[in-house]
Structure 1
Amino acid sequence: MDNVLTSQRFFLLLAVMASGFLLYLLGPILSPFLIGALLAYLTDPVADRLEELGVSRTAAVVIVFVILTTLITMLILLFIPKLTHQIQVMIHQIPAVIALFEEKAIPAIQAFLGDGVSFGDIESFKKLVASHWEKTGDIMAQVASGITRSGLAVVGWIANLLLIPVVTFYLLRDWDVMMDKIGHLLPRSVEPVVSRWAKESDEVLGAFIKGQLLVMLTLGFVYAVGLWLVGLDLALLLGMLAGLASIVPYMGFIVGIFAAGVAAYLQFHDPVILLWVSAVFGVGQALEGMVLTPLLVGDKIGLHPVAVIFAIMAGGQLFGFVGVLIALPVAAVIMVFLRHVHDGYKNSHLYGSDTVVDVIADEAPQEQDIGLDEQR
């Protein structure tokens, strides 16, 4: 029996390693499939809810798919052109930002800390930044020229975009069936454990994606609307940037208020505008702490922000864009695995048992008595 169990676990380990190796080999073509799988995972609960209301699975999938496609199309048509324009505006403002720090911020810091404080050669820094931006522009021009000349690259890019909705539709339609079949393929001896771990991983991942990411998107919208009401030209870009940075508590507030403050001062040249920018981020921070986090995340156990950042960076380093897409699911599984390893270690003889603790506790008074006798 033990040999059979060991063989099954060894087979499962080999299957996981083979899947990882195939993922590494097929990485360049997996992006549309992974994006489709992510969208199917996010929208499957909505389709399940519609089924509970009496709608057939196919009709529920069609309804969810139409709503999802409409929302994504509206986002692309409304926001992408504006974001592109605002990024160009931000790039042109970089010399003005450097000049602002050179003429205003650095003298103020030196006056506060003393003239002995030095910030190095500012001119060399300005030339370095300028040269890097020129190189970036040349690289982007070369990439754009190469894509334009290569019809095959354009066709491949369009094909990947068209594959995403197709993959999303079919995966969403058969999601529950596929999960059930995968469960039946597992060796019977490990199926209960793997199913329990998969359920816990789903809870961890769901708590983060359906909770924290909703908080980030909502904050990005609130910041963008607030900065737009203030009159900031880069409102959408800076609002979305602050929302994304909110993956780490208070980081979105710090990054957003600093970047928006600099942009607002460069645009209006009036220190009073900084009070309005501060008010926008103050309202957003209060909304996050009192409404969004308790309502959307609550006491769910999600992924730690530092673990999320490390997972995304590690995935991108190892597997490129595909690694970024699979980073969070893999991090959720690893988190659940480490939790069970931790519990197993705490209950093992390596950590110590209650019997050992009791023996030590019983022996401690005897040692103290012996010490007292020796002193006497």
Structure 2
Amino acid sequence: MLATFRSWFDRLFAEEETVVLLLILVGSFLLMFVLGNVLVPLIASVVLAFMIQGLIARLVRMGASHWLALAVAYGVFLVVFFGVLTLLLPLVWQQSTNLFQEAPAMMRKLQQALLVLPERSELFTEAQIKEWMGVITTKMGSAGQYLLSFSIAQLPNVVGLLINIILIPILVFFFLKDKRTILNWLSGFLPDRRPLLTVIWNEMNVQVANYVRGKAIEIVIVGSVSYVSFVVMGLNYPALLGLLVGLSVVIPYIGAAVVTIPVLLVGYLQWGWGGEFLTLAIVYGVIQALDGNVLVPLLFSEAVNMHPVAIIVAVLVFGGLWGLWGVFFAIPLATLVKAILYAWPTRDRLPDVSTAETSHD
């Protein structure tokens, strides 16, 4: 038994670098698990700086100097960042408040519609409908109490939120300005010879860059198109629903299915069964179809082809560990796991040092 375990250990840790990689993974996991909430501003700043770096690189390729490209890209970031804080979020908050205030009337209308079901189908009885409505009413009351207690409990954190609003742009600036210095400092803690880490870094740099920037563009496009469509149709709460539709693309397969319920429910409670509701369903279906069949292949042409089951498992696992951040980075983290498994050296399969060092240079 001991000989078998030793043979397995020697096969997996044939290179000293694999021990370093294992320590990095375990340390990163423990750090995120213990201090994840504290590090939210830092993580958000790193993600935003990573996204802006693509714009800087493109401006440099067009002939702009590095400092000019940095100034232009950072200016665009500030406009978007504070535009969202001052324009989008207040509008969404106002519509969320209106929705919460109108929820009782909407529930009564939904109850009247459900009570008609027993007359149209033998699958439902009046007792079942009343039981369901009782459960929904209880949940709505509990949700209202939770929102009230949550808002009161979060009042002391307003100062912390304001600090983060100021801190994130500052961190983004220094991450962009001192990118090379920070990377050189971090590499000083790694072994001089690191072909495995180089292979994984090169692959993940491409994959994460493609995913994060593409996903941000997808959120903006899908959310904006949904918002404009809802406004044109006269749907209630267009900003709130447009934001939900845009954010739904973060969770592959599951997000679109979940957000469909509130979109169609609001449309039904506003118009009932009719031409407007049918138009909403068709428009929403077209948006989802264009997103899945046109926009996603266009934005994620370099993404690793992963099985849907693997993606859903990654969303469940990493989302359960780190919440929204885990959901957003589920695919890159799954790609990281896949890259490590394929690049992990053994005595029978060691990485090509010359190729890795050439790619790193």
Larger Cα Rg: Structure 1 or Structure 2?
Answer: 1
Q: Does 1:91 align with 2:100?
A: yes
Q: Structure 1, residues 109-136: CA drift from partner, whole Å, max 9, x if none?
A: 7635xx2544853334333333333333
Partner of 2:232, secondary structure, is helix
Partner of 1:298, secondary structure, is coil
Amino acid at match of 2:279: W
Q: CA deviation at 1:53?
A: 4.1
Identical residues among aligned pairs (%) = 25
Deviates more, 1:289-298 or 1:248-257: 248-257
Distance 1:316 1:105, change over 3 A: same
Q: CA deviation at 1:70?
A: 0.4
Deviates more, 1:49-58 or 1:251-260: 251-260
Q: CA deviation at 1:221?
A: 1.3
Q: Which residue of 2 aligns with 1:36?
A: 45
CA distance in 2, matches of 1:33, 1:328: 21
Distance 1:142 1:107, change over 3 A: closer
Q: Which residue of 2 aligns with 1:16?
A: 25
Q: Which residue of 2 aligns with 1:47?
A: 56
CA distance in 2, matches of 1:335, 1:218: 29
CA distance in 1, matches of 2:280, 2:296: 22
CA distance in 1, matches of 2:212, 2:271: 38
Q: Does 1:229 align with 2:238?
A: no
Partner of 1:121, secondary structure, is helix
Q: Which residue of 2 aligns with 1:359?
A: none
Q: CA deviation at 1:290?
A: 5.9
Aligned partner of 2:206 among 203, 207, 213: 203
Partner of 1:29, secondary structure, is coil
In the TM superposition, what are the counterparts of 1:286-365 in structure 2 within 5 Å?
287-288=290-291, 291-298=294-301, 300-301=303-304, 307=310, 310-319=313-322, 323=326, 327=330, 329-340=332-343
Q: Which residue of 2 aligns with 1:259?
A: 262
Aligned partner of 2:89 among 80, 86, 106: 80
CA distance in 2, matches of 1:175, 1:282: 42
In the TM superposition, what are the counterparts of 1:56-67 in structure 2 within 5 Å?
56-67=65-76
Q: Does 1:26 align with 2:35?
A: yes
Q: Does 1:155 align with 2:159?
A: yes
Amino acid at match of 1:167: L
Q: CA deviation at 1:232?
A: 0.9
Give the RMSD, CA atoms, in angstroms: 3.6
Q: Structure 1, residues 236-258: CA drift from partner, whole Å, max 9, x if none?
A: 22222223334566766655555
Higher relative contact order (CA 8 A, sep 6+): 2
Q: Does 1:178 align with 2:187?
A: no
Q: Is the 8 A contact 2:199 2:343 kept in 1?
A: no
Distance 1:282 1:131, change over 3 A: closer
CA distance in 1, matches of 2:315, 2:293: 28
Q: CA deviation at 1:69?
A: 1.0
TM-score, normalised with respect to structure 2: 0.77
Q: Which residue of 1 aligns with 2:130?
A: 123
Q: Structure 1, residues 251-303: CA drift from partner, whole Å, max 9, x if none?
A: 66655555333322322346121132134224424533564234323364366
- What is the number of residues matched between the two proteins? 338
Q: Which residue of 1 aligns with 2:287?
A: 284
Distance 1:297 1:326, change over 3 A: closer
Q: Structure 1, residues 159-178: CA drift from partner, whole Å, max 9, x if none?
A: 22221111111111122443
Q: Does 1:104 align with 2:113?
A: yes
Distance 1:27 1:300, change over 3 A: closer
Unaligned 5+ runs, structure 1: 349-376
Q: Which residue of 1 aligns with 2:3?
A: none
CA distance in 1, matches of 2:48, 2:141: 38
Q: Is the 8 A contact 1:207 1:302 kept in 2?
A: no
CA distance in 2, matches of 1:251, 1:321: 14
Q: Does 1:243 align with 2:250?
A: no
